Amino acid sequence: MDLVSNLALGFQTALSPMALAFCLLGVTLGTLIGVLPGIGAMAAIAMLLPITYHVPPTEALIMLAGIYYGAQYGGSTASILLRLPGTPQAAVVTLDGYPMAQQGRAGVALFITTIASFFGSVVGVVLLAGFAPLLARGAMAFQAPEYFALMVLGLMAAALLTQGSALRGLIMVALGLSLGTVGTDLQTGTFRFVFGMPELADGIGLVAMAMGLFGVSEVIANAARGGAPVARTPRWREMIPTRADWRAALPAMGRGAGVGAGFGALPGTGSSIAAFVSYAVEKRVARDPSRFGRGAIQGVSAPEAANNAAAQTAFIPTLTLGIPGDAVLALMLGALIIHGIIPGPGLIEAQPALFWGLVASFVLGNLMLLVLNLPLIGVWISILRVPYRLLYPAILVFICIGVFSIRNSVFDIWVVLIFGAVGYGMRLLRFEPAPLLLGFILGPLAEQYLRRAMTVSRGDPMIFLERPISAGLLAVAALLLVWTLASAWRRAR
């Protein structure tokens, strides 16, 4: 069989001592960097890019990819322990992960996220190996109208993220949408709400905003009540999930991995909304949705599986179409170009050893990550033993370094500070930051795809209904809306 011989070639490449060494180096670096909030894979890969000049392309890519998906494993650690999400995906994990930590179940949460990460990755790698060309063709069917419909669906999911009143959730989504309008109008190049500050020309920094809203506001709140509420750190035995935990977490992982793998293959948008959507799915299928936001294990395992599956399938458009799924993958394409390999539709045929070697290295890398991460849980947990008065200055310093490293900009540190204060105000008024963040992410994308689709149709809105995929997605979104309103109405009666 073709796949078998391809995989044999892949493992032959990936199992060479040098490839193994670079894979281990990559995933180890990725794990360490992922744990530091805000200092994402981007900074690490940027720093290592010059080294790739002196390393053969396959090994270089194996290492850089290892950093990328390795960082996804660690990304949830700071979210669960300290409510410090370095990425939008990790922000979803804070919703139930942080409450779990406050209940003394941080170990269980970290254990489950590691397993979910591994499971999601494996699903993603299988799809990458088996169906890369097919999924790439599927992604091609997505054009502006389909992406717009997808964004509408995502915004519907945002309404489901809220724990309290739907009205408060909608207000936050609207605020997020408004904040998303800051920056350059993509269609005309006009500045909107930039106020003469070039730093705002590309909009408000997403990570800076997320760190402020979630992390800094938490630090202020804890300082206000004289310390973090976690008094007790768990013993080793309590870190192992119970049978009930597994029963709840495993099906959620399966659903999350499915959602994530699908979204990941869509270039540009995939991974950030995959986690949000999978969380909304869990809340929808749960028998008792009220447990979400109070430490539901499904709320941790599903988004984590989704975001790792997406991280693997994001390589599909990157390698088969030359369209990077996100900024980090764009950087990896840069590493290929350095070596004179131009990513594009012919890459898999032209460079079989590179593609299949990379796929095989994903399998090996994820196994390494599993072995690496499980023992580390105990180390991370011990962070909670540090007295809060010593911990929070360190947290603030890490936030500042992390946010600064994104684009070497002091301006973004001010953004963190401002959103920290805003986040604390929201907390006092009992508004939640998650719907705001999703509105902020999806708003500009929805606008961009809406206007693009309308330009293509020369102003005819029927374009959204004439195309089957877009019409189907919009129908699902409408159903979700009706369902939500109906259940709200039933509850009100």
Phi, psi of 183 (to 5 degrees): 130, -155
Q: How many residues bind other proteins (CB under 8 A)?
A: 49
| The one among 339, 353, 396, 427 contacting other proteins by CB under 8 A | 339
In the complex with other proteins, the residue whose CB is nearer, 114 or 269, is 269
Can you tell me which residue has the tokens 């044999």? 8
Interaction mask 53-92, other proteins, x per CB under 8 A: ----------------------------------------
Q: What DSSP state is assigned to residue 190?
A: -
Residue carrying structure tokens 């060309």: 133
Task: Give the x/- contact pattern for other proteins in 106-145, rule: CB under 8 A.
Answer: ----------------------------------x--xx-
Please give the DSSP secondary-structure letter assigned to residue 226.
T
Among 39, 45, 122, 363, binds other proteins (CB under 8 A): 45
User: Contact between 316 and other proteins (CB under 8 A)?
Assistant: no
Check if the beta carbon of residue 74 is closer than 8 Å to that of residue 377. no
Interaction between residue 333 and other proteins (CB under 8 A): yes
Which residues are bridge partners to 191 per DSSP? 184
Using CB under 8 A, which of the segments 27-35, 44-52, 126-134, 229-237 binds other proteins?
44-52
| 32 three-class SS | helix
- Interhelix angle 41-48/17-35, rounded to 10 degrees, is 140
Question: Which one, of 477, 440, 475, lies nearest residue 208 by Cα?
Answer: 440
Long-range contacts (CB closer than 8 Å, 24 or more residues apart) made by 470-476: 470/145, 470/146, 470/148, 470/149, 471/149, 472/149, 473/146, 473/149, 473/150, 473/152, 473/153, 474/149, 474/152, 474/153, 476/153
Tell me phi and psi for residue 13, to 5 degrees.
-70, -50
Question: CA–CA separation, 98 vs 294, rounded Å?
Answer: 9
Distance (Å, whole) CA 376 – CA 32: 10
13-42 mask for other proteins (x: CB under 8 A)?
Answer: -----------------------------x
Among 17, 340, 375, 459, binds other proteins (CB under 8 A): 340
- Interface with other proteins, residue 346, by CB under 8 A: yes
**CA 29 and chain centroid, separation:** 18
Residue 468 interacting with other proteins (CB under 8 A): no
The yes or no reply on residue 314 touching other proteins (CB under 8 A) is no
Q: Which of 452, 469, 476, 481 binds other proteins (CB under 8 A)?
A: 452
Which residue, among 396, 155, 172, 386, has the nearest Cα to 276 in the 3D structure?
155
Instruction: State how far the Cα of 232 lies from the Cα of 159, in Å rounded to an integer.
Output: 34
What string marks each residue from 400 to 419 as x (binds other proteins by CB under 8 A) or -? -------xxx----------
DSSP 341: P
> Element (H or E) spanning 191, and its range?
strand 191-192
User: Is the Cβ–Cβ distance between 5 and 47 less than 8 Å?
Assistant: no
CA-CA distance, 19 to 368, in Å (whole number)?
A: 13
- With respect to other proteins, which residue has the nearer C-beta, 346 or 378? 346
From the CB of 205, what's the least distance to other proteins, in Å?
A: 10
Cβ of residue 368: shortest distance to other proteins, in angstroms? 25
Nearest to other proteins of 294, 339 (CB atom): 339
Say whether residue 267 binds other proteins (CB under 8 A).
Answer: yes
Task: Residue 34: name the closest of 369, 284, 384 by CA.
Answer: 369
Tokens for 255, please give them.
């659903």
Closer residue to other proteins in complex, CB, 262/444: 444
The residue among 8 and 197 lying less far from other proteins, judged by its C-beta, is 197
Q: Is 382 exposed, middle or buried (0-12, 13-18, 19+ CB in 10 A)?
A: exposed
Residue closer to other proteins, measured from CB, 408 or 492: 408
Nearer to other proteins, 46 or 285 (CB): 46
Stretch that binds other proteins, among 73-81, 296-304, 322-330, 425-433 (CB under 8 A): 322-330
Q: Does 327 bind other proteins (CB under 8 A)?
A: yes
Structure tokens that stand for 1 in this block: 């069989």
Give the single-character DSSP code of 87: S
Interaction between residue 459 and other proteins (CB under 8 A):
no
- Taking the complex as a whole, the smallest distance from the CB of residue 268 to other proteins amounts, in Å, to 7
Residues of span 171-230 touching other proteins by CB under 8 A: 184, 186-189, 191, 196, 198-199, 201-202
- The answer to whether the CB of 90 falls within 8 A of the CB of 78 is yes
Site for other proteins in 419-448 (CB under 8 A): 448
Please identify which residue in 18, 240, 285, 337 interacts with other proteins, judged by CB under 8 A: 337
Q: Which of 133, 227, 344, 472 binds other proteins (CB under 8 A)?
A: 344
User: Which residues of this chain interact with other proteins, rule CB under 8 A?
Assistant: 42, 45-46, 49-50, 140, 143-144, 184, 186-189, 191, 196, 198-199, 201-202, 267-268, 321-324, 327, 330-335, 337-340, 342-347, 407-409, 448, 452, 455-456
